[in-house]
Amino acid sequence: MAKLSDDELLEALGIEEEPAKTSAYSAREERIIAGFEEIQRFVEQNGRVPAHDENHDIFERLYAVRLDRLREQEEARILLASLDYQGLLGGTMHSPAESVGSMDDDELFAALEEADAPSSITELRYVRSQAEIRAAEEIASREKCEDFERFRPLFEEVEGELKSGIRQARRFGRNPSVDPGDFFVLGGQLVYVAEKGDEFQAPNGHPDARLRVIYSNGTESNLLLRSLQRALYKDEAGRRLTVPLTEPLFSETWDEGDVESGTIYVLRSLSDHPFVAEHRELIHKIGVTGGKVETRIANATHDATYLLADVEIVATYKLAGINRTKLEAIFHRIFAPAQLDLTIHDRFGHPVRPKEWFLVPLHVIDEAMQLIRDGSITRVVYDPKRASLVSPAE
């Protein structure tokens, strides 16, 4: 059979090739039109022209700045004349400029930054108005995070996960979502989204929400979700940190070709140490091994890791195709607030502070295993006061 060309294949399938559509406007002109349409929607929804009043919403003040710039630009007025059914461009006209600047909101209040240079040394064309300055400060203002010690362990854990490869830093644009518990790199600092308020519709029609954002330098800000998104887009080094897990870790059933790669084990100490004896039902060691648990704990009485005492196995969970080291790090992050603070002396008399022991009820550990199975474990932390797994925003 003779090989058909692409055009012949399309004809045989009954598909008519359509010429590619080209826009009648340049990219800059499309941005100007889109920005003007946002102002028009604001006027339709509010029945008034946006104003600079500092008591008004940040978006309204942005639209007011944008409208002023459009009125100043002769080329912009000509471009938008046929679209201005509300007569918005009929305000006070200023001296025209030779070119139309950028109307990208990512530039915020430096709108139309490519405008003509000052005609004289006394004409301060690039000095922002007080309304613009106040609006910009509202977006970028930060204050001391009074409860930063609550978040410090999270930042330290994330830094360790980045170094070990458990987390990766990726360009923000690939996934623009922002949710509580997310980590980003912005302006060379680690940024943690601690809380997210109820969503609302911004004047431009897009969903938005107020965030509580914590910075690794001990400050915080209460900014809008879309403001954070724009800042991450603008920052060439802005990154999203991936979560430690991206897919379920366990299989309920074993398929042909599956390989068991290890076991999560939960131990209870039989030590006669006063504190351990008093809280024996609450203190558990969580570990991961690629061999038999019984072999791992055979010499517990001689190993400070096991509190120099015998242990009993209270639960085990099989793993399939999972990086054991990464999983262990996830457990330590989640239960870090409840890590046992106990120092003992090894058989050589050296002080040792064993890790992997936590003051966590067994039923909470089992709940964590279930969350690992469905991949949602990265969205919770352990709250020792409530003895339960909770969202970081709670």
What is the tens place of the pLDDT at every residue in 219-276?
999 888 888 888 888 888 888 888 765 444 444 454 444 445 678 899 999 999 899 9
Q: pLDDT for 121-138, tens place per residue?
A: 333 333 444 444 444 444
Residue 47 and residue 238: Cα distance in Å, rounded?
38
Q: Strand (E) positions, 137-225?
A: 143-144, 169-171, 183-186, 189-196, 200-201, 207-208, 210-215, 219-224
Q: What is the pLDDT of residue 184?
A: 93
Which of 241, 274, 289 is where one domain is finished?
Answer: 241
Which of 103, 120, 137 is where one domain is finished?
Answer: 120
Kindly state whether residue 125 falls inside one of the protein's structural domains: no
Q: What is the pLDDT of residue 257?
A: 44
The number of distinct structural domains making up the chain is: 3
Q: What is the pLDDT of residue 37?
A: 85
Residue 282: which pLDDT band, with cuts at 50, 70 and 90?
A: very high
Q: 71-80, 164-173, 186-195 — which is least confidently predicted?
A: 164-173
Kindly state whether residue 221 falls inside one of the protein's structural domains: yes
Residue 84: which pLDDT band, with cuts at 50, 70 and 90?
A: confident
Share of the chain above pLDDT 70, in %: 70
Q: pLDDT for 339-361, tens place per residue?
A: 888 888 777 777 878 878 999 99
Kindly state whether residue 161 falls inside one of the protein's structural domains: yes
Kindly state whether residue 226 falls inside one of the protein's structural domains: yes
CB 57 within 8 Å of CB 227: no
264 and 372 in one domain?
yes
360 and 288 in one domain?
yes
Residue 383 and residue 206: Cα distance in Å, rounded?
34
202 and 94 in one domain?
no
Task: Please give the distance of CA 160 from its chain centroid, rounded to a whole number.
Answer: 18
End-to-end CA distance of the chain: 67
378 and 266 in one domain?
yes
287 and 209 in one domain?
no
265 and 385 in one domain?
yes
- Chain-wide mean pLDDT for the chain? 75
167 and 109 in one domain?
no
166 and 74 in one domain?
no
* Domain coverage including residue 102: 27-120
Q: pLDDT for 136-175, tens place per residue?
A: 444 447 888 999 999 999 998 888 777 766 677 888 876 6
Residues shown for the chain = 394
264 and 237 in one domain?
no
Structure tokens belonging to residue 366: 């089992």
Residue 368 and residue 379: Cα distance in Å, rounded?
11
Kindly state whether residue 162 falls inside one of the protein's structural domains: yes
289 and 234 in one domain?
no
Kindly state whether residue 87 falls inside one of the protein's structural domains: yes
Burial group, residue 217, by CB count within 10 angstroms (0-12, 13-18, 19+): middle
152 and 104 in one domain?
no
Q: Which residue has the tokens 């001990």?
A: 218
Q: What is the pLDDT of residue 5?
A: 63
362 and 320 in one domain?
yes
Kindly state whether residue 343 falls inside one of the protein's structural domains: yes
159 or 377: whose pLDDT is higher? 159
Kindly state whether residue 129 falls inside one of the protein's structural domains: no
Closest CA to 230 of 202, 254, 250: 202
- Residue 386 exposure: Cα atoms within 13 Å on the Cβ side: 8
* Helix, strand, coil percentages, rounded to 5, for the chain: 35, 20, 45
Which of 120, 154, 189 is where one domain is finished?
Answer: 120
Q: 45-54, 209-218, 259-268 — which is least confidently predicted?
A: 259-268
